Amino acid sequence: MKKVSCNVFTDGKSECDFEITGETAEEMGSNGKPHCMEAHPELVEAWKNMPKEEAEKWYKEFEANFANLEDA
């Protein structure tokens, strides 16, 4: 299992140190979502309006970096 702090998860857009964990990048993404919806609704809104290519690029990078994250 890997862990990441919210501010890394959100690409530095939050100053939050909430810890998000997951066995896979996908699981981490879905685990981070409820926290972001509650704590950072403005970021969730920005993601919704993000162009598809940009969102895909972000997710690819997130997936590629997943193995380098700290073990939880």
Give contact residues for Zn ion (rule: CB under 5 A). Answer: 6, 14, 16, 18, 39
C-alpha span between 43 and 10 (Å, rounded):
8
Q: How far is the CB of 4 from Zn ion (least distance, A)?
A: 11
Residues 20 and 35 sit within 8 Å (Cβ to Cβ): yes
| Nearer to Zn ion (CB atom), residue 12 or residue 51 | 12
Least distance (Å) from Zn ion to the CB of residue 53? 25
Contacts of 53 (CB under 8 A, 6+ apart): none
From the CB of 23, what's the least distance to Zn ion, in Å? 20
